[in-house]
Amino acid sequence: MLIHPTRPAHPLVEPADFAAERLPDAVAAHELPLRTVFDWAGDYLCAPHPELGRRGDVCPFTDTSLNKGLFFLSVHAGKPTGPDEVADLLLHYRDWFAELEPRTGPSAQFKTIMVLFPDLTAPQEWAVVDRAQQLLKADYTRMGLMVGEFHPGPPDKAGLWNPGFRPLSSPVPMLAIRHMVPTDFPFLRDDDATLAAYLRRFGDRVPTHLRGDVRAAADRLATSGS
What is the share, in percent, of the chain residues with pLDDT greater than 70? 99
- What's the mean pLDDT in 179-202? 92
User: What's the pLDDT band for 224 if we cut at 50, 70, 90?
Assistant: confident
Task: Answer whether residue 226 shows pLDDT above 90.
Answer: no
The rounded distance, in Å, linking the Cα atoms of 17 and 98 is: 22
User: What's the pLDDT band for 165 if we cut at 50, 70, 90?
Assistant: very high
The rounded distance, in Å, linking the Cα atoms of 199 and 54 is: 26
Q: Put residue 21 in one of left, alpha, beta given phi > 0 → left and psi -120 to 50 → alpha.
A: alpha
Which residue ranges make up each domain of the chain?
15-180, 182-226
Helix, strand counts (H, E) of the chain = 7, 4
- The answer to whether 166 and 36 have CB atoms below 8 angstroms apart is no
User: What's the pLDDT band for 160 if we cut at 50, 70, 90?
Assistant: confident
Does the pTM of the predicted model rise above 0.85? yes
